[in-house]
Structure 1
Amino acid sequence: MTIYSTLLGKKFEQLHPKLQYRYALPLDQTFYADGKMQQIQTGSKLLFPLYLLASKLNFLFPESGENIPFTIANRCRINQEGEAEVSWERSFFFPESVRKFNAKMTLDLEKRLVKDFLGDVPLFYSDLLFDVTKEGFLMITSGTQKVVVGKKELTIPKLFKGRVFVLEGYDEVKDVYTIHVSIYNSLIGRIMRYAGEFTESVR
């Protein structure tokens, strides 16, 4: 069982079968996919310094665009702490640059959530709450968020949090996975939003 099936328990079986397959993620096997983002939107120009910093960490980035090719690679392995850890590697192929949005996730079974460390250098952390919709889609929302400085974790005040909403499904007519992601702050509005489709690929 992966961190996602363990967390969702019986709800995991309510996911669309293709999503169950995608999130089963046996140890040391990688799920690869290729797709296209119909739209990627970033936020206010005031956030440009944040985007530049985050892009160096392979987290957020400043570009927006339409019909942007992208790839996904997910792999579950045992980390140095002996925990099951899922790596997320997302690459977006803009005309002038390639941007990445990477993360590593582990399970906090006591709190019933996923711990999401964002970027290749994990300076940003977010709790993620997982649920299944009546349509069999996977819905993810954010909880507590922190800035990691050395061994210290500083909780980000609610006013400055990026509220995350993710909805991943499967379109049986088009035979594709679908993804919608929104990161929003109540003070400055949209931080990032993207929506697209993808299919499994072989590497």
Structure 2
Amino acid sequence: MSDGSVYQRALGAAFDRLQPQLQDYFSLQPGEGRYGFGTGIFDVAGSPRPALRPLLSAIPVANAFFPDFGRRVPFTISNYPHIDPFGRSSLTAVRTFRFDRADRIFEDTTSLTSPTGLTDYVGRRRNLATDLDLSVSQDGRLHMHSPHTRLFLGRLRLPVPVLAGADAHAEQWWDESAGHFRIRTIVRQRQLGTVFVYDGSFTYEYREFDGVLPPDAEPEKWERRL
């Protein structure tokens, strides 16, 4: 058992200010024998700008951004707490969006890369890395901001320039009146506006987990660079 989840260790005392349901959701840690599984509906999901959708297909990061957009999109999410091959406490998430014409996957691994610092590795090859800044609102919601992004192409490490990069913000909370979780993620680019979004609600449960990632959650390549 580790000394708390990656979110507990990154937030420190602020973790206790989260809504109780969020504390439970973000408490998954390696070695406790369970993973989280959620099902829900995104009110909106994908790229709302038709002209930008072909560009998303050109980004050299598989299983991340996709050229689709829909409303009332069913989805599932699986959250697996584990230790990555480099000994870092991590949480791997696999989200499946069920659009009318195809299923799309968004997968990532969030790793504790310093005593209180998180790096999110995105895509099938985990070759898009971004820092995660966490904060807790006065009403107990979790806010996640990704201010710095870099792309790994082979041996190259390519910082994404601020003006060319996109700014991602996620907010998650427990909707007491509806009895389910809500999540809203928006990726904005300074010149183009919103390029990617998902916003919806889901229910969540825990299932047995032996600590070994299933094949559909194992990335093609692990990344340790920061």
Shorter-chain-normalised TM-score: which range? over 0.9
Q: Name the CA distance, whole Å, in 2 between partners of 1:154 and 1:55.
A: 12
1:117/1:96 CA distance change after superposition, 3 Å: same
- 1:76 correspondence with 2:74: no
Match of 1:10 among 13, 27, 35: 13
* Separation of aligned partners in 1, 2:59 and 2:29: 30
Equivalent-residue separation in structure 2 for 1:196 and 1:64 (angstroms): 14
* SS, match of residue 178 in structure 2: coil
Q: Point out where structure 1 has 5 or more consecutive residues left out of the alignment.
A: none
User: Aligned pairs, how many?
Assistant: 202
Q: CA RMSD in A?
A: 1.8
Q: Which residue of 1 aligns with 2:191?
A: 187
Deviation at 1:151, TM superposition (A): 3.3
Which aligned segments of 4 or more residues in structure 1 are displaced greater than 6 angstroms? none
> How many angstroms apart in 2 are the aligned matches of 1:66 and 1:185?
22
The answer on whether the counterparts of 2:48 and 2:69 sit within 8 Å (CA) in structure 1 is no
Deviations 1:29-50 (A, max 9, x none): 2110000001124144453344
Alignment check: 8 A CA contact 1:129 1:141 kept:
yes
Percent of residue pairs bearing the same amino acid type: 25
**Secondary structure of the equivalent of 1:24?**
coil
Q: Deviations over 1:72-93 (max 9, x none)?
A: 1011111111111110100000
Structure 2 segments unaligned to the other structure (5+ residues) = 208-226
Which residue, 102, 107, 111 being the options, matches 2:112? 107
Task: Check whether the contact 1:34–1:201 (CA below 8 A) recurs between aligned residues.
Answer: no
Matches within 5 A, 1:96-175: 96-109=101-114, 112-175=116-179
Q: Which residue does the alignment assign to 2:216?
A: none
Q: Which has the higher helix share?
A: 1
61, 64, 68: which one pairs with 1:63? 68
Taking structure 2 as the reference length, the TM-score comes to 0.84
**Corresponding residue SS for 1:20:** helix
Provide the TM-score with structure 1 as the length reference.
0.93
Q: For the Cα contact (< 8 Å) 2:22–2:174, is it kept in 1?
A: yes
